[in-house]
């Protein structure tokens, strides 16, 4: 039963134009997940035909997604990992749909000009090799991936999935003026991390700790690298704080 299910799924994905290598990797990940959990794949993922349609929508079904409304509002913003889920759901209630996460870790969002949908979000932690299995596990409940950052994988779904017509927003608020949402815990983390790096650097210079030693490869060049790395992280935070105080 298990083997037959994944054979059928692979055939259906190939029929939908998914490359053979991608089909093999996806099916292998799903089979590994099913073997680990001991779950029946049809109960876990649903009928193979419906699941294949979820994983690989037909070209005509995907067309509206690939050609967004040119007059839709856009907003690019960021939040620290301590508060990103709270802000995602707050602004999802205001009709903001995250399309992707850019290379700077910012949420690239859009909102339909008329009667936008309300959105809800969730964040999962997974190694890249487990992304496909995680996406497949959440797909039957309407969750679709909208971006990843390091080991965080973000999912969205319109509230219409669970609330029906109430998932549509009648009166959308104005585009938020703020674009950066960093909280106190984030700044505390940065300070603690910087102090740790500074203490490590002092230990290397003074001959204290596991990285010290007369013939050890870690020396002044290593210390310089630590301090430069700390500056790369801390200086943008300090500049952001300065700009926020001026507002």
166 alpha-carbon distance from chain centroid? 26
Helix (H, G, I), strand (E, B) or coil at 210: coil
More confident residue, 178 or 45: 178
pLDDT of residue 245: 47
Which alpha helices (DSSP H) does the chain contain, by range? Answer: 2-15, 20-37, 41-45, 48-55, 59-66, 84-92, 131-138, 160-163, 184-206, 220-246
Name the pairing type of β-strands 119-125 and 180-181.
Answer: unpaired
Residue 51 reports pLDDT greater than 80: no
Burial bucket for residue 93 (CB in 10 Å: 0-12, 13-18, 19+):
middle
Q: For 67-76, 90-99, 104-113, which range has the lowest pLDDT when averaged over its residues? A: 67-76
| Contact status, residue 153 vs residue 49, Cβ threshold 8 Å | no
Tokens of 67: 């050609």
Q: Structural domain boundaries of the chain?
A: 2-62, 68-181, 184-246
pLDDT over 70 percentage in the chain: 71
Closest by CA position to 179, among listed 99, 106, 71, 96: 106
pLDDT 10s digits, 73-103: 899 999 999 999 999 999 999 999 999 999 8
CA pair distance 6, 28, nearest whole angstrom:
9
**What is the chain's Cα-based Rg?**
23
């Amino acid at each position: 039963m298990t083997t037959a299910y994944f054979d059928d799924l692979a055939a259906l994905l190939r029929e939908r134009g998914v490359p053979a290598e991608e089909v093999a990797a996806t099916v292998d990940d799903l089979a590994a997940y099913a073997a680990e959990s001991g779950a029946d794949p049809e109960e876990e993922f649903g009928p193979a035909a419906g699941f294949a349609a979820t994983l690989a929508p037909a070209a005509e079904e995907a067309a509206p997604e690939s050609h967004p409304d040119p007059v839709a509002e856009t907003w690019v913003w960021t939040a620290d990992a301590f508060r990103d889920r709270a802000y995602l759901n707050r602004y999802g209630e205001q009709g903001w749909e995250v399309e992707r996460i850019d290379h700077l870790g910012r949420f690239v969002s859009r909102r339909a000009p008329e009667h936008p949908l309300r959105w809800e979000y969730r964040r999962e932690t997974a190694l890249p090799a487990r992304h496909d299995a995680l996406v497949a596990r959440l797909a039957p409940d309407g969750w679709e991936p909208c971006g990843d950052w390091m080991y965080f994988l973000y999912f969205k779904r319109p509230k219409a999935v669970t609330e029906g017509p109430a998932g549509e927003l009648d009166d959308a608020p104005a585009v938020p003026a703020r674009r950066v949402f960093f909280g106190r815990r984030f700044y505390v983390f940065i300070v603690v991390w910087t102090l740790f790096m500074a203490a490590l650097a002092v230990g290397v210079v003074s001959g204290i700790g596991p990285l010290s030693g007369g013939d050890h490869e870690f020396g002044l060049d290593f210390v310089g690298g630590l301090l430069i790395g700390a500056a790369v992280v801390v200086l943008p935070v300090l500049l952001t704080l300065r700009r926020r105080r001026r507002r």
